[in-house]
Amino acid sequence: MNLRLWQRLFLTFAALASIALAGFVIWQQQAFRKGFLAYLDQAALERLQPVSDRLAEAYDENGNWDFLRNDTRQFGELILPERHRAQRQSKRIERLREALPPEAAADVAQRHPPPAWRENEREREGRRRVLEGSLLSRLLLVDAQGAPVVGDPAIARGSASVPIMLDGERIGSLLLAALPRIRSAADLAFAREQLRNALIAGVAILGLALLLAFALARWLLTPVRELAAGTRALAAGDYTRRMGNRRRDELGALAADFNHLAHTLEQHREARRRWGADIAHELRTPLSILRGEIQALQDGVRTATPAALNSLHAECERMGGLIEDLYQLSLADAGALEYHFEPLDMGEVLAEALETQLPSLEESGLAVATAIASVPPIRGDARRLGQLIDNLLMNTRRYTDAPGRLRIELSAVAGEVILVLEDSAPGVPSDSLELLFDRLYRVDASRNRAAGGTGLGLAICLAIVTAHGGHIAASASALGGLRIEVRLPAIGAGA
């Protein structure tokens, strides 16, 4: 049978509660029996205090313990207080009668008859059995030297004892053996009553524990059920589903992670829709131009001059560049963009890129100033870093008004190699700076499609810098244009 998670939790809680409660009841009963036996032994010792006084009086009357040696019956009569009092009264009356004349003794005997035991043989036999079966069987009387006088000689000398004193001198001891188990009917009834009460309390507590376990299992798994429903909604494409984050435990953290996942998926879906629309728009423009020019050639509106063919070729190049950039970004997103990392001198990579791009920059009317310092080596891919610098330089050439200025700095600070490119006007609005690295984003006011860009160059730069463990950021330039800063970790910077 397949059990649901809350049912398994409930059964686990119930089993733990039952085991713990059963263990507690067993321990409580064991502790009760031991404590109760100790209590009975202590109570028996307290009851033996008067017995020691009676034994001392009997010893004083007889002069030694010979009168009691191995006489269990007389020993039992001394233990019983009513029998002892009756014997003393009978002896006093007998001594009084012996001291009086016969006539006075007869009168005393008539007025004070000897006390008669008002118990039949069955009662005496029952009392004897009670004594022998309870207290008497646990007693041993020893003399001052520790020699047994009467009682069970098997009782250990280390048992609890009551001293028997006469005129400040110890004349013997009364040893009491510990109770091995509860024997008395009243004691057994009391023990059974305690066990019954413990079982009733245990059943009541177990029932309450089961109710609490049921409620707790349902309460703990409420957010789990909500998460399961939310996950199904996400799988069905409902990225607007959110979880109520009211808890402050691990389940609350899981709900927060679910909400973050749903928000991220929703953003990715919107980005994918926007990405598809932007790509369609970017491809539609050169295709429309190509279609129009080709149709004009077909209709004879335009002749196939070298200028017309060059225009067609430029549009094809532009569309090919866009497709290549899209391919590069798709490889970066899939983690399939190839990198061959090795120790590099960023100054050499920058010098090679400038050597290639400098003529076109000067033709565009840009004055280039460089400040290249000696920097520690970095671990990178020379081809990809060259692509990074080419994209940044082409971005400046396309969007900086002529005549303009470009300043390039390379330095090292705190274990990082820093590359900075600053150009002159036009600048970028502050609210657009964070969006420059988004795919197909353009600042329409000045950096538009007419300059020939695809809007993917800076996105590719971001992918390359991220793959090298670095950081790229855009800000306003002191020259009036855009400032791009690239930070790459130097070798050994993390050591």
- Structural domain includes residue 349: yes
Do residues 11 and 65 both lie within one domain? yes
ω into residue 426 within 30 of 0, thus cis? yes
pLDDT digit of tens for each residue in the chain (495 aa)? 566 666 777 778 778 778 887 777 777 777 766 666 677 677 777 777 788 888 888 888 888 888 888 887 777 777 765 544 555 556 566 666 666 666 655 665 565 555 544 445 544 444 444 444 456 777 888 888 888 888 878 776 667 888 888 888 888 888 887 766 655 566 667 667 777 887 788 788 888 888 887 887 777 777 777 888 888 888 888 888 888 767 677 777 888 888 888 888 888 787 777 767 767 766 776 788 788 888 888 888 888 888 888 878 877 877 777 777 777 777 766 666 678 899 999 999 999 999 988 989 999 999 999 999 999 999 999 988 998 999 899 889 988 998 999 999 999 998 899 999 999 989 888 888 888 887 777 665 444 444 555 667 788 899 899 989 999 999 999 999 999 999 999 987 554
Among residues 150, 185, 220, the one where a domain terminates is 185
Query: Which residues fall within 8 angstroms of residue 182, CB to CB, at 6 or more apart?
Result: 33, 36, 37, 40, 188, 191
Do residues 289 and 414 both lie within one domain? no
Residue 411, phi then psi, degrees to nearest 5: -150, 175
Where are any strands of DSSP class E within 255-341?
Answer: none
- Structural domain includes residue 66: yes
Q: Which pLDDT value is given to residue 305?
A: 85
Q: Which pLDDT value is given to residue 129?
A: 44
- CA distances (Å), origin 235, targets 203, 239, 258, 260: 47, 9, 13, 15
What is the C-alpha to C-alpha distance for residues 393 and 387, in angstroms, rounded to an integer? 10
Do residues 380 and 348 both lie within one domain? yes
Helices (H), ranges, 167-248: 185-235
- CA distances (Å), origin 80, targets 66, 148, 178: 20, 21, 20
Do residues 370 and 437 both lie within one domain? yes
- Give the number of domains in the chain: 3
Do residues 269 and 162 both lie within one domain? no
- Structural domain includes residue 319: yes
- Structural domain includes residue 217: no
- Structural domain includes residue 223: no
Q: Which pLDDT value is given to residue 416?
A: 94
Do residues 275 and 320 both lie within one domain? yes
Q: Which pLDDT value is given to residue 116?
A: 47
Do residues 317 and 393 both lie within one domain? no
- Structural domain includes residue 237: no
* CATH code (residue 282): 1.10.287.130
Do residues 297 and 397 both lie within one domain? no
Do residues 346 and 421 both lie within one domain? yes
Q: Which pLDDT value is given to residue 453?
A: 57
State how beta strands 366-372 and 404-413 pair: parallel
Considering only CA atoms, which of 254, 319, 271 is closest in space to residue 454? 319
Among residues 283, 303, 331, the one where a domain terminates is 331
- Structural domain includes residue 393: yes
State the residue range of the domain holding 358: 340-489
Do residues 319 and 347 both lie within one domain? no
* CATH code (residue 347): 3.30.565.10
Among residues 331, 349, 382, the one where a domain terminates is 331
- Structural domain includes residue 409: yes
Do residues 71 and 131 both lie within one domain? yes
Do residues 365 and 316 both lie within one domain? no
